[in-house]
Structure 1
Amino acid sequence: MQDWSRLTLAPLFKRRVFSSTQQDETLTRVSEALKDHRLTWKSGRVDAELNRGRFGSLTVCTLRYGAEVHIEPDRLQDFMLVQVPLRGRACIECGDDRVDATPDCAAVIAPNRPLRLHWEAGCEQLLLKIPRGKLEAIGRRAFGDAADRPLDFSPALRLDNPIGAAWRSMVTGMIHLLPTLDDGAPRPPAAWLEHIEDTLILHLLYNQPNTWQHHAGTAPSEPRRLTLAESYMRAHLSAPLTLPDIARHAGASATVLTRLFQEHRDTTPMNALRALRLDTARQQLKSDAAVSVTEVALGVGFGHLGRFSEYYRERFGELPRETRRSGG
């Protein structure tokens, strides 16, 4: 694809994480950079390379294995992934759907889709990783309560039409800006960078068919016990809540409440509580320059600062201090 030539992607190719001709090293380094996975080597010579850049909460990579490979990462869980071959082809199985990915057809992989991939020899792909927390925060702004539902996408994203070409151009523009984020470089305004990041995600949410679009404005009322549980969580974020505590105040057993969260939120009650705490912490870090990261963590119920930072980065793609430094 001419628009994504190596010259065009030069700012990303200058950010090499590793290159290798060894199978074990390649599996270890890709697992560290992206996600644990099972990797079966097929025909061809190992000639692996990973390049990676970060733009706000987003991670953009190029990856090749050289050889033909079969990849089984299971569900992504904590992030959404867009894959588009720069060279070669790949077969991407998302649940019951199959995408024959080429430079003209990307794959949009939702966090909870079962996933298997087969890359032909010589395939090199551009990967865009979007943290689930960022996705959900923007989804709520765009679709309201509909974004509380599990997210699923139609996985085939055509890039050879005007809508796909526009998205491709946005990604290219983001990559061109990577050098401005290096230490010592003149840095554009943080609010403008975040606008670019958000717009790229909104493009996918508005233009690629998904469940949030489908249910926007038509979502049925939630079960009362689920609503009560979430209201109790929001009112007691700093308290040492347990599942029995939450269930009791919602008027349900722990088993029933867990089932309600799984059916309507695609998560568990305690994971939902952690997400609420982290979202609240992010809002505070962006809006109140006087409060410290430690105070924010304690205020939303995290007694262990290291664990708070780990969970925060997992959800938003950056550390709490980086949110503070960006100035919101």
Structure 2
Amino acid sequence: MSLREALNSKAIFQHECPHLVSDYVNEHIGNHSITLQGQKTGRASLWHRALDPAISLSKITYGSRVRVRSPELQDIYHLQVVLNGQCRWQLADSERMLGPGELMMLNPQENVDLTYSEECEKIIIKIPRTIITNTAISHGASIPRDGVKFARHVLHINQFKALSQLLELLCLEAESEVVDVNMHTPYQILLANKLLSMFNSNVDIHGSYDMNVRCFEIIDSYIQDNIKKDVSVEELASVSRVSKRTLYNLFAKYRSITPMSYIKQKKLSEVRRLLQTKEGAIRNVTEVAMDYGFIHLGRFSGDYKKTFGELPSETLRKTIVA
């Protein structure tokens, strides 16, 4: 599924008056004003969902040439991605012209002056200042008095496949009828880490690399020593001497998965190693699965096949007949 397809369902407005859409944007996305510069009206559309109480996602098109101005974004960042058409980003001393696939970060307390072409269609992700700040702090970065400021650079989403996949996931999660509040913090941290690593900014999140490498050495050793136990995120945070939030940040940045998914991968790899061992060969998949804490056998088999491309019973059968 493409990012565009993930945003196609359940539009709030479709082919409506641009000012009607603008009123909604002012209330839910960010304070701004629009000036219509084209002849066509009545073609504005908007998709908007809140992923959680902090982050929201929108897809917007005004269907006409429009100038969008905002005195400043109040304590929020905007990640904006152009899907179609063009968007001119007017700065104090220069301008940037964005085309399909290009993206930019808008900072809090900065004037915004954008001009949409008639065909312009954009995705806007609203992220509170606190999420970006806390994520940078968790990396040991010193935060300037005026906060984290992203450079006014234009990037292309094709350079960052993981970001595109993450945004698709966030859109699908926002549309889901089943809300998993336990995933809110990991999603926030993944997104903040991705943005801090992609865009240049006035903070350095790379200075603590050696410390983070040592942290993972401790984590890997602890997981291996307790591979048959139910290791918790709290335990990993404790042995590595970091907070839970910092732990999630480390995994998001250096492993691109959550701590619990990482633990599960380690357990699955150990089960596979045993199933492939001829000496003292395992003859019962259920026994070894449960020995490593996999109580739901159907879910275990599905996770195993997703990871290794075959069912555990197939791995065992190959070992026996080899």
Partner Cα separation in structure 2 for residue 66 and residue 26 of structure 1: 11
Question: Structure 1 regions of 5+ residues with no counterpart?
Answer: 218-282, 284-328
Show the 5 A alignment for 1:179-328. 179-180=175-176, 182=177, 185=178, 187-188=179-180, 190-213=181-204
> Percent of aligned pairs with the same residue?
17
> SS of the counterpart of 1:146?
coil
Show the 5 A alignment for 1:1-328. 3-5=2-4, 7-10=5-8, 13-14=9-10, 16-19=11-14, 21-46=16-41, 47-56=43-52, 57-96=54-93, 98-146=95-143, 149-162=146-159, 164-180=160-176, 182=177, 185=178, 187-188=179-180, 190-213=181-204
Partner Cα separation in structure 2 for residue 88 and residue 63 of structure 1: 12
Structure showing greater Rg = 2
> SS of the counterpart of 1:212?
coil
Alpha carbons of structure 1 residues 19 and 31: separation in structure 2 relative to 1, 3 Å: farther
Alpha carbons of structure 1 residues 179 and 71: separation in structure 2 relative to 1, 3 Å: closer
Partner Cα separation in structure 2 for residue 202 and residue 150 of structure 1: 16
Partner Cα separation in structure 1 for residue 85 and residue 182 of structure 2: 37
Which structure's relative contact order is higher, taking Cα pairs within 8 Å and 6+ residues apart?
1
Q: Deviations over 1:152-203 (max 9, x none)?
A: 21233422554x22211111111122233x3xx3x44x33342122111111
Partner Cα separation in structure 1 for residue 199 and residue 127 of structure 2: 15
CA RMSD of aligned residues (A): 2.6
TM norm structure 2: 0.58
Contact 2:139 2:206 in 1 (8 A): no
Q: 2:3 corresponds to which letter in structure 1?
A: W
Contact 1:206 1:213 in 2 (8 A): no
Contact 2:76 2:128 in 1 (8 A): yes
Paired residues, what number? 207
> SS of the counterpart of 2:168?
helix
Alpha carbons of structure 1 residues 28 and 93: separation in structure 2 relative to 1, 3 Å: same
Contact 1:88 1:123 in 2 (8 A): yes
TM norm structure 1: 0.57
Alpha carbons of structure 1 residues 193 and 26: separation in structure 2 relative to 1, 3 Å: closer
